[in-house]
Amino acid sequence: MVLSDLYLWLSYSHIPTRKINMLLEKMSPSQLWDSFDDDEIKYSLDDKTFGLLKRTRNKEYIDRAKYYLESNNIKYVTRADPIYPSALAQKEVDPPPVLYYKGDLSILMQPCLAVVGTRKASQYGRYVTSRTVEELASAFTIVSGLATGIDGYAHRAALAAGGKTVAVLGSGLFHASPTSNLALFDEICQNGLALSEYTPDTHATEYTFPQRNRIISGLCSGVLVVEASYKSGSLITANCALDQGRDVFAVPGDIDKIRSQGTNNLIKHGAIAVTCADDIFDYYSVKNKKEQPKTVALDFAEQSVLDALNGGEKSFDALVDVCGMTVPELNTALSALLIYGLVHEKSKNLYTVS
C-alpha cells in the first residue's frame, strides 16, 4: 500500500480527524495498517474506532473509493502528497488526512485571506464585504465557507473582481449547502476551489460546520470578520485563527447593533480593526493594485450632491432639503452618482460617498 492510499483509508474510516491525528502521533499509517491485527493495537483503541478501521481495512474497498472519486470528477490530496497545503500541516490546525476538492488547488499558493461573518448580514455588512473584497482579491485568495450572508458576498465579490476564491464546505462535495448558493458553488468549482475534509457523500451536521472553520483559518494568514453577533459561528473561526497563530482582523460597527457586537468585541480583545482594504494591504506590506477610479466630469447638480454627502451620510429627504433641488433633479443627479460609483446606498434610503 502506498502512503496516500493509507491516508485515504483513514479518511474513509470516518473517524474524527482529532482521533486520527492522536493515533498518528504514536505510529505511522503504514505501521497501523501492517500491524493492525496485533493485540497491542487492538487494546490501545476504543471499540468504535477499532471497528471503523477494521471494517474499512480492505485494499479492494480503498480501490473502489478511488475509482468512485475518479469517476465523479472529485480530486483529492492526502498528507503524503507534496501539494498538500503546507499551511494546514500544523498540529494546531488538526490537519485532515485527505482533502477532497474540485477546482484549482494551486490558488492556495497565493497568500490567502479568510473573509467570514454572520449569515444574517445587514446591508452595511454586505456593502463592506463587497467593497473590501473587491480590492483584496487583487492580491489574496479569498477563503470562506459558502454560507449565506457575508460568506456568499465575499465569494461573489472575489469572483466579480476576477480574483480567486476558495469555499471550504462543512459537508461532502456532493452535498454543498445552502441551496441558494449552489449556482455560486458551481462557479467556484469552475473558477476557484471548493474543498472539504469530508468524503463526498457526507451530509452536514451541526458539528461539521464548526469543525471546518479551523480549516478556513488554517489555510490563511489572516481572518477578516466583517459582521458577527456574540454567538456567530464566525467567532469560532476567529478563535481557531488565534489558536493557530493567524492574524484576526475585524470590521468595527455600530455599538448598538447586535450584528456588530461580535466584531467590536474582537477589536476590544486585540483584533486589528479594519476600515478599508488598505489596512490589510499595509499590515502585510502588500501593494494595493486597485486602479484609481477614473475621474468623471460632474455637472453642478451632481457636484453639490457630492459636497452635501461629504458632510456625512444622508437620506433622500435630507438631501432634498440640503441641496435645495427639486425631486426630479436630485433623482437624476443621485442616480448618475450611483452609476459612476461615487456614491452608494449604505442601507435603505441612506446615501454616503464611496
Partner 1 sequence: MLAKINSYALNGLDGYGVTVEVDIHMGLPSIDVVGLPDTAIKESRERVRSAIKNSGYDFSPRKITVNLAPAHTKKEGPIFDLAIALGMLVSTEQAGIDERKTPLKSVNDYVFLGELSLSGEVARVNGVMPMLIAAREQGVKKIVIPKANINEAKYIRDIEIYAVESLRDAVALIDGATRTPIDCCDVVLGGEASGGEDLKYVKGQYAAKRALEIAAAGGHNIIMIGSPGGGKTMLAKCLPTILPDMTEAEALETTKIHSVAGILDESCGIVTTRPFRSPHHTTSRVALTGGGPSAKPGEISYSHNGVLFLDELPEYPRSVLEILRQPLEDGVVTVSRAARSVEYPANFMLVASMNPCPCGYYGSATHQCTCSPSQIQKYMSRISGPLLDRIDLHIDVDEVHYDDLTKESNTESSADVRARVNAARAVQTARYAGTNVHSNAKMTSEMIKKYCVLDAAGERILQAAFDKLGMSARAYTRILKVARTIADLDGKTDITSAHVAEAVMYRSLDKAVK
Enumerate residues 6+ apart whose C-beta is below 8 A from 146.
152, 155, 167, 168, 169, 176, 177, 181, 184, 185, 188, 194
Residues near partner 1 (CB under 8 A), total: 33
Query: Closest approach of Cβ 233 to partner 1, in Å?
Result: 14
User: Is residue 119 a contact point for partner 1 (CB under 8 A)?
Assistant: yes
Least separation in angstroms between residue 111's CB and partner 1 is 28
Show the CA angle centred on residue 205, arms to residues 85 and 129, nearest 5°: 60
57 part of the interface to partner 1, by CB under 8 A: no
Exactly one of 191, 332, 352, 354 binds partner 1 (CB under 8 A); that residue is 332
Q: Is 352 in the site for partner 1 (CB under 8 A)?
A: no
Does the footprint of partner 1 cover residue 334 (CB under 8 A)? yes
**Residue 346 C-beta: closest distance to partner 1, Å:** 9
Q: Are 106 and 193 in contact (CB under 8 A)?
A: no
* Sole binder of partner 1 in the list 320, 352, 353, 354 (CB under 8 A): 320
Q: Per CB under 8 A, does 353 bind partner 1? A: no
Binding of residue 339 to partner 1 (CB under 8 A): yes
Among 122, 138, 208, 217, the residue binding partner 1 under the rule CB under 8 A is: 122
Chosen residue from 24, 52, 258, 353 binding partner 1 by CB under 8 A: 258
- Whole-number minimum distance, CB 59 to partner 1, in Å? 45
Stretch that binds partner 1, among 201-209, 232-240, 282-290, 326-334 (CB under 8 A): 326-334
Decide if residue 290 touches partner 1 (CB under 8 A).
no
Binding mask 200-229 for partner 1 (x = CB under 8 A): ------------------------------
Interface with partner 1, residue 315, by CB under 8 A? yes
Return d(Cα 74, Cα 240) in angstroms, integer.
27
227 phi, psi to nearest 5 deg = -145, 130
Judged by CB under 8 A, the chain residues 154 through 193 that form the site for partner 1 are: 178, 180
Q: What 3-state class would DSSP assign to 292?
A: coil
Asked if residues 172 and 200 have their Cβ atoms less than 8 Å apart, the reply is yes
Q: How far is the CB of 144 from partner 1 (least distance, A)?
A: 15
* Amino acid occupying residue 50: F
Nearer to partner 1, 173 or 330 (CB): 330
Rounded to 10°, the helix 327-340/300-310 angle is: 80
Do the strands 247-250 and 343-347 form a parallel or antiparallel pair, or are they unpaired?
A: unpaired
Chain position carrying cell 490563511: 220
Q: Cα separation of 177 and 174, whole Å?
A: 9
Nearer to partner 1 among residue 94 and residue 135 (C-beta): 135
Contact 88, 219 (CB under 8 A): yes
Q: How far apart are CA 213 and CA 102, in angstroms?
A: 19
By CB under 8 A, is residue 350 in contact with partner 1?
A: yes
Rounded Cα–Cα distance for residues 257 and 26 (Å): 49
Q: Which listed range, 5-13, 72-80, 92-100, 319-327, lies at the site for partner 1 (CB under 8 A)?
A: 319-327
Q: Give just the sign of the alpha carbon dihedral 31, 32, 38, 39.
A: positive
CA distance 219 to 223: 10
The SS3 call for residue 283 is: helix
- Told to check if 349 binds partner 1 by CB under 8 A, we report yes
Tell me which residues touch partner 1 (CB under 8 A): 119-123, 148-149, 178, 180, 257-258, 315-317, 320-321, 327-328, 330-336, 338-341, 347-350
